[in-house]
Amino acid sequence: MILEAVRLALTAIIRNKLRSFLTVLGVVIGVAAVIAMVTVGQGSSEQVRASVASLGTNVLVARPGRPPRMGPPTGEPPPRFSVKDADAIAELPVAAHVAPMANTSQTVVAGNANAATQIYGTNADYLAVQNWPLALGRNFSDAEVQAGSAVCVLGETVRAKLFGASDPVGQSLRVKSVSCDVIGVLAAKGAGSFGQDQDDVLLMPFKTVQRRLKGNQDVDSIAVGLSQSASSEEGIRVISSLLRERRRVGVTQADNFSVTDMKEISSMLSGVNSVLTGLLSSVAAVSLLVGGIGIMNIMLVSVTERTREIGIRLAVGATSAQVLTQFLVEAVVLSILGGTLGILVGLGLAYGGSVYMSIPFSPSAAVVLLAFGFSAVVGVVFGFFPARRAARLDPIEALRHQ
Amino acid sequence: MAKGDPLIEFRGVRRSYGSGEAEVVALDHVDLTIREGEFVAIMGPSGSGKSTSMNIIGCLDRPTEGKYLFKGVEVQDLDRDSRALLRRHALGFVFQGFNLLARTTAQENVELPLIYKGLPAAERARRARAALEKVGLKGREDHDPAQLSGGQQQRVAIARALAGEPTVILADEPTGNLDSHRSHEIMQLLQVLNREDGITIVMVTHEEDIAAYAGRLLVFTDGHLTRDEPVAERGAP
């Protein structure tokens, strides 16, 4: 009987294609929105996790100045780091790799092509700190770093912009007045935690950047790869106390630098992420509710419109329960169709959004099942009242209905 | 159950609507017996109680007082669902306005009561085709009501009533929406079903010449059964 009722419901739905579609539009939009929100939300959480992992779980970054959270900067700018600070940290047993960073933004030119990019002045340890493999060529040698040679390693985005299909290794490019040999290309890393392109970067020895591009001796930050045995808490403690000593911070004074690990960034990002996902999903859930009310409305109209049909069915021997089942099944089939359509649209949107924001597309079976179940529940809940009204019709009145 | 046994019995049936001052009596203590195999025509002016009797016979309505026995079963005490089962297994309806499902083929319309009988699809299709053939609509199985003439639509309705293999067909002004020629065709069909298939037919009509097809005439006036007489044997005109 249920199968028969489903078949009947499908017939009734197909008979009124446009109306059926408009009826379920609310459910389609609701389910699609929930699916898209949750899928994109999960994708971006995954992205955060992945990019934090790619930064290295045991990476610390030391920057001059107070941590950004601890209020506005005080009057005079804090003293910069120098290469000596980095060398001192490298002496510590907790530090496996230490990379001083001197960064600048410049336009890079090769032949007719140019690209505005971020230039990181660093040393040969940077790749080890970042756990970043090379796709082509080689890393800096220590001699090149010491000498401040004009050599560079390209990020994938910069390589694509400047050299396209040709092999960049051995070719040269120009930054400001500096002509520089390409010795390697980094493996593509994709988008970072904030959606920025991590491959839009060019590495040079820090001395080259300091002397020939920036004209100073400053080190903007120091990235530290901790040794396997060291925890990040221990690393932060040891490096902080070393830096306090080197920067002559008095015992009563606050740090004029910060040492942070990736966990903080990671937890902050996933926190924002889950709040946003939750917020958008609840908006989407409201639209599902509205969709359910839409179904109830149309089913009520349908019961009135089909009063005579109901009368005929009752006259030929349908019981109230059979009429109830018919209309209830119709509402459920309708909303499940809407739900299915919504799932497809939602996954489509999520896929498009993931590609656009270059985050991983991570559909979750649990969410799809949940949305499916939810749309069935919407059908039962909002279909029951109209179905009961149909089942309670007086057959004589119903047959007389025009 | 043999031909001639009492099939439909009214014992002091009273049906009234409303109560107190506003009470309207549609049927007032009617006694009536219709036997298996009869072809009965019910006539009477509007408001005489003929439609109310039909509704009670069809188990769509219940008497306020008195007893209605169908095959000896006291219908007045049955609940809604039991009456639905009675309609499903023993009654077939033919209405003035045909009451076919729109945008539904003749075949599907005829199958409708069989769905509720719980027959498998193949059996339903077979029986519906047989019923349509019986009413002379072979080859029109896939036509929608909109593609059929009034007479043909009423034939589909008769096939639908027939498909359930009913004991009784209840026809409420079956020719009311048809021209004279079609009316007589439909009546001949009902007569054949009564004579050859032994189906009891109870029919409400306004027209004398339609009532003439029946074997017995009941006339209602103001809620009372005022005439109950045999109709002179009449062949096909």
CATH number at residue B90: 3.40.50.300
Predicted pLDDT at B172: 93
Give the pLDDT confidence score for residue B189 in this predicted structure: 94
Say how many Å lie between the first and final Cα of chain B, rounded: 33
**Domain interval for residue A149:** 80-246
Q: What is the pLDDT of residue B197?
A: 92
Bigger pLDDT: A214 vs B204: B204
Q: Judge if A236 and A380 occupy the same domain.
A: no
Same domain, A100 and A216: yes
End-to-end Cα distance, chain A: 29
Chain B interface mutation, best of A1, A2, A312, highest count of B Cβ atoms under 10 Å: A312
Domain stops at, among A196, A215, A246: A246
Residue A357 lies in a domain: yes
Same domain, A84 and A217: yes
Burial of residue A63 (CB within 10 Å: 0-12, 13-18, 19+) is middle
Size of interface A-B (CB pairs under 8 A): 57
Q: What is the pLDDT of residue A76?
A: 66
Min CA distance, A319 vs chain B (Å)?
Answer: 5
Both structure tokens of A161: 């912009």
Give B115's contacts in chain A (Cβ within 8 Å).
4
- A273 lies in the same domain as A208: no
Residue B105: per-residue pLDDT: 93
Interhelix angle B150-163/B180-196, rounded to 10 degrees, is 20
CA distance A16 to chain B (A): 11
Residue B108 lies in a domain: no
For residue A1, the chain B residues in CB contact (below 8 A) are 118
Interface residue ranges in chain A relative to chain B, Cβ cutoff 8 Å: 1, 4, 15, 308-309, 311-322, 395-396, 399
Domain that holds residue B91: 6-99+167-230
Whether A323 is covered by a domain: the verdict is yes
Q: Is the dihedral of CA B146, B148, B149, B155 positive or negative?
A: negative
**In terms of domains, do A203 and A298 share one?**
no
Fill in the DSSP letter of residue B165.
-
Mean pLDDT over the full length of chain B: 91
pLDDT of residue B233: 60
At A192 the pLDDT is: 66
Residue B71 lies in a domain: yes
> Do residue A240 and residue A271 come from a single domain?
no
Q: Please report the pLDDT score of residue B237 as a whole number.
A: 44
In a domain, A56, yes or no: no
Q: Are residues A162 and A289 in the same domain?
A: no
Q: Report the pLDDT value the prediction gives residue A39, as an integer from 0 to 100.
A: 86
Domain presence at residue A324: yes
**Contacts A318 to B, Cβ<8 Å:** 84, 88, 116
Taking an 8 Å cut-off on Cβ atoms, the answer to whether B103 and A15 are in contact is yes
Per this entry, what is the length of chain B? 237
Residue B235 lies in a domain: no
Give the per-residue pLDDT at B111: 94
pLDDT at A193: 59
What is the per-residue burial (b if ≥16 Cβ within 10 Å, else e) of B106-116?
bbbbbbbbbbb
Residue B31 has pLDDT above 80, yes or no: yes
Same domain, residue pair A219 and A271: no
C-alpha distance from residue B52 to each of A282, A337, B16, B226 (Å):
56, 44, 10, 15
Which chain A residues are Cβ-neighbours of B80 within 8 angstroms? 319-320
Domain count for chain B: 1
User: What pLDDT score was predicted for residue A95?
Assistant: 86
Regarding predicted confidence, which is higher, A8 or B226?
B226
| Number of residues that this document lists for chain A | 402
Looking at the structure, tell me whether residues A237 and A332 fall in a common domain: no
Domain termination site, one of A217, A246, A275: A246
How many domains does one find in chain A? 2
In a shared domain, residues A43 and A91: no
Q: Nearest CA of chain A to the CA of B101: how many Å?
A: 6
Q: How far does A306 lie from chain B, in Å, by closest CA?
A: 9
**Given this model, what pLDDT does residue A319 score?**
92
Q: Are residues A13 and A85 in the same domain?
A: no
Dmax (CA) for chain B in angstroms is 57
Last residue in a domain, options A192, A212, A246: A246
**Does a structural domain hold residue A258?**
no
pLDDT given for residue B236 in this prediction? 46
Residue B90 lies in a domain: yes
**What is the pLDDT, as a whole number, of residue A391?**
92
For chain A, which residues score pLDDT lower than 50?
Answer: none
B142, exposed or middle or buried, with CB in 10 Å at 0-12, 13-18, 19+?
Answer: exposed
Task: Using alpha carbons, select from B93, B27, B9 the residue that is nearest to residue B64.
Answer: B27
Q: Give B31 or A233, the one with higher predicted confidence.
A: B31
Please indicate, yes or no, if residue B206 is contained in any of the structural domains.
Answer: yes
Interface residue B124 vs chain A (CB under 8 A): no
Mean pLDDT, range B136-147, rounded to an integer: 93
A207 falls within a domain? yes
Residue A260 falls within a domain, yes or no? Answer: no
Do A46 and A123 fall within a single domain? no
Mean local confidence (pLDDT), B82-91: 94
